[in-house]
């Protein structure tokens, strides 16, 4: 019997980002690789394919049989072509083409899509017919269920989960290997039962409905009146929306983050430097990140385009920022950082240069009696009370036998939260995470909580299959807490084929995108 539960919080969806290179002279090149012979619609599987080759964001419409990858250098583009050329994927052989394009030409194509008379007329018509206030439009954009009672929201999500489990049942029943082999069909007899045999438990409500987000990322741009503003875009940039509205009416943003956004807005309105223009690619002030933890710790990260300033101007502005934020009596700032980012992609990025101006560059949070260090780039759940319920339920389902030596495999472990909160109930914890900075945080967190029975590996999980396959304690329990799209098929296969692993807890924030991982978790001979 299978059991599932709803993830109690949502991860931030990061928009696809373009990469570019500044060449010698006035022209700039986008080093593009076109990947041919891809299947239609299966973007989640294609994303996992590219990730397996350590390739980043791509552009592909659902009906396209090709995709584009952008790189900073021609060498990186050629290296990607070597990796993908001739690869067998979904019964097709991939082919690649190098298709560099000037930044100006690329920008004109984008502007043409959003600036043709037909598009502009349609946008104008939609705006004229839209009777919502700007605050209502923003609420619909960032919190689309804000007008729905919370109990009704839970029921909607319950029905959505039931639909995905029914979809899992259909996909398993349709597997071609089951058609001609009755023995294999018997192993998954539940998929052929008339009623859905999978137990679906009621959703567990978040203890806090409003102001729960401990991390908020704001855009610095201009509002509908053209004033420099800190807040959220009123629509998607790729659809031509560039106006920003302050977050004062947003239900999910806590008071501290709203106050910091307002203070930063005051600062940039008094600044002699302009906010960044996403179309013209000019201006200094780009983004603001706030991490306001339940402990009271507050992190502020300010992203700016440093190439607009010379060294003396940049140093003076950093000093001014320190003076400004230390003078704010209403907010106790734990740490202040600046990220310098001159690229075209919007939002915070690991490619930017991040510098600590105040504090040690960390904030701290407490979960289930443990204390955790959080860096500016590390992922950490954004709803602390709900996270405690989630992790408590995970530990309950692991059902650790205190009379046996048990190893907990914390796969996609991030900063180590799940393994550390459970470490005292097991003999050993092994954590694997591909983001090296997160592993540094995890090791620091284990030491801070005086946890001695953990070991961490900074690697893709599929590259440390030996750790998974060779673990031979009396009991081995695996906990998956992967990205939205699930995990690599080789990881699922290694866990599934290990005779020591008798129990797997899979935490998913999007069952639809992780469906491929669920199907591949069936017995190896199915």
Residue 453: predicted pLDDT: 96
Mean pLDDT of the chain: 85
Closest among 418, 422, 423 to 438, alpha carbons compared:
418
- Which two structure tokens, joined as six digits, stand for 461? 């999980």
- Is the pLDDT assigned to residue 13 strictly greater than 80? no
Element (H, E) at 104: helix 103-115
Give the whole-angstrom CA distance, residue 405 versus residue 472: 10
pLDDT bracket for residue 132 (50, 70, 90): confident
As annotated, the binding site for S-adenosyl-L-methionine includes 381, 433, 481
Residue 526: predicted pLDDT: 56
pLDDT bracket for residue 519 (50, 70, 90): confident
Q: Report the pLDDT averaged over residues 353-365.
A: 96
Residue 20: predicted pLDDT: 30
Give the whole-angstrom CA distance, residue 412 versus residue 390: 16
Percent of the chain with pLDDT over 70: 87
pLDDT for 143-188, tens place per residue?
999 999 999 999 999 999 899 888 888 888 888 878 777 777 888 8
509 is catalytic: yes
Do residues 252 and 259 lie in contact, with contact meaning Cβ atoms separated by under 8 Å?
no
Residue 524: predicted pLDDT: 54
- Which two structure tokens, joined as six digits, stand for 138? 């923003």
pLDDT bracket for residue 113 (50, 70, 90): low
Residue 117: predicted pLDDT: 58
- DSSP per residue over 171-217, as a string? HHHT-GGGSS-HHHHHHTGGGGSSS--SEEPPPPPPS--SS--SEEE
Give the whole-angstrom CA distance, residue 112 versus residue 21: 22
Q: Report the pLDDT averaged over residues 259-277.
A: 97
Lowest mean pLDDT among 26-30, 288-292, 295-299, 478-482: 26-30
Give the whole-angstrom CA distance, residue 439 versus residue 454: 12
pLDDT for 302-343, tens place per residue?
999 999 999 999 999 999 999 999 999 999 999 999 999 998
Do residues 23 and 29 lie in contact, with contact meaning Cβ atoms separated by under 8 Å?
yes
Helix, strand or coil for residue 331? coil
Buried b (16+ CB within 10 A) or exposed e, 340-355: bbebbbbbbbeebebe
Residue 387: predicted pLDDT: 96
- Is the pLDDT assigned to residue 482 strictly greater than 60? yes
Lowest mean pLDDT among 33-42, 271-280, 436-445, 458-467: 458-467
pTM of the predicted structure, to 2 decimals: 0.75
As annotated, the binding site includes 381, 433, 481
423/500: higher pLDDT:
423
Going by DSSP bridges, is the β-strand pair 95-98/28-36 parallel, antiparallel, or unpaired? antiparallel
pLDDT bracket for residue 236 (50, 70, 90): low
- Is the pLDDT assigned to residue 85 strictly greater than 70? yes
Residue 14: predicted pLDDT: 26
């Amino acid at each position: 019997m299978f059991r599932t539960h709803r993830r109690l919080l949502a991860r931030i969806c990061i928009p696809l980002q373009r990469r570019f290179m500044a060449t010698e002279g006035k022209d700039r090149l986008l080093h593009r690789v076109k990947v041919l012979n891809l299947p239609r619609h299966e973007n989640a599987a294609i994303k996992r394919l590219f990730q397996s080759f350590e390739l980043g964001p791509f552009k592909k419409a659902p009906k396209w049989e090709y995709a584009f990858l952008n790189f900073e250098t021609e060498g990186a583009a050629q290296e990607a072509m070597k990796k993908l050329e001739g690869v067998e994927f979904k019964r097709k052989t991939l082919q690649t083409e190098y298709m560099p394009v000037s930044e100006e030409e690329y920008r004109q194509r984008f502007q043409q899509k959003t600036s043709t008379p037909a598009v502009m007329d349609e946008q104008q018509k939609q705006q004229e017919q839209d009777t919502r206030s700007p605050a209502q439009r923003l609420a619909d954009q960032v919190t689309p269920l804000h007008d729905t009672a919370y109990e009704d929201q839970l029921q909607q999500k319950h029905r959505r989960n039931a639909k995905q489990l029914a979809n899992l049942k259909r996909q398993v029943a349709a597997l071609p290997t089951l058609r001609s082999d009755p023995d294999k069909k018997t192993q998954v007899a539940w998929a052929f039962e008339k009623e859905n045999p999978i137990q679906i438990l009621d959703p567990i409500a978040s203890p806090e409905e409003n102001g729960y987000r401990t991390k908020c990322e704001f855009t610095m741009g201009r509002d509908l009146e053209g004033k420099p503003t800190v807040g959220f875009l009123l629509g998607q940039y790729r659809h031509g929306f560039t106006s920003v509205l302050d977050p004062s009416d947003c239900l999910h943003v806590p008071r501290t983050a709203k106050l910091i956004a307002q203070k930063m807005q005051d600062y940039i309105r008094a600044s002699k430097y302009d906010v960044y223009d996403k179309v013209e690619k000019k201006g200094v002030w780009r983004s603001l990140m706030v991490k306001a933890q339940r402990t009271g710790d507050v992190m502020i990260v300010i992203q700016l385009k440093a190439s607009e300033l010379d060294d003396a101007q940049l140093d003076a502005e950093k000093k001014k920022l320190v003076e400004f934020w230390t003078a704010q009596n209403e907010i106790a700032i734990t740490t202040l950082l600046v990220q310098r980012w001159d690229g075209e992609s919007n939002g915070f990025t690991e490619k930017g240069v991040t510098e600590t101006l105040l504090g040690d560059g960390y904030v701290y949070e407490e979960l289930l009696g443990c204390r955790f260090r959080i860096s500016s780039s590390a992922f950490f759940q954004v709803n602390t009370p709900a996270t405690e319920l989630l992790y408590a339920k995970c530990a309950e389902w692991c059902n650790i036998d205190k009379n046996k030596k048990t190893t907990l495999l914390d796969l996609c472990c991030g900063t180590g939260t799940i393994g550390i909160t459970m470490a005292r109930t097991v003999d050993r914890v092994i954590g694997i995470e591909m983001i090296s900075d997160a592993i540094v945080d995890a090791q620091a967190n284990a030491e801070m909580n005086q946890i001695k029975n953990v070991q961490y590996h900074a690697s893709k999980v599929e590259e440390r299959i030996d750790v998974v396959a060779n673990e031979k304690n009396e009991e081995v329990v695996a906990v998956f807490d992967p990205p939205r799209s699930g995990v690599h098929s080789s990881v699922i296969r290694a866990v599934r084929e290990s005779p020591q692993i008798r129990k797997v807890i899979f935490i998913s924030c999007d069952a639809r995108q992780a469906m491929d991982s669920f199907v591949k978790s069936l017995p190896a001979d199915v």
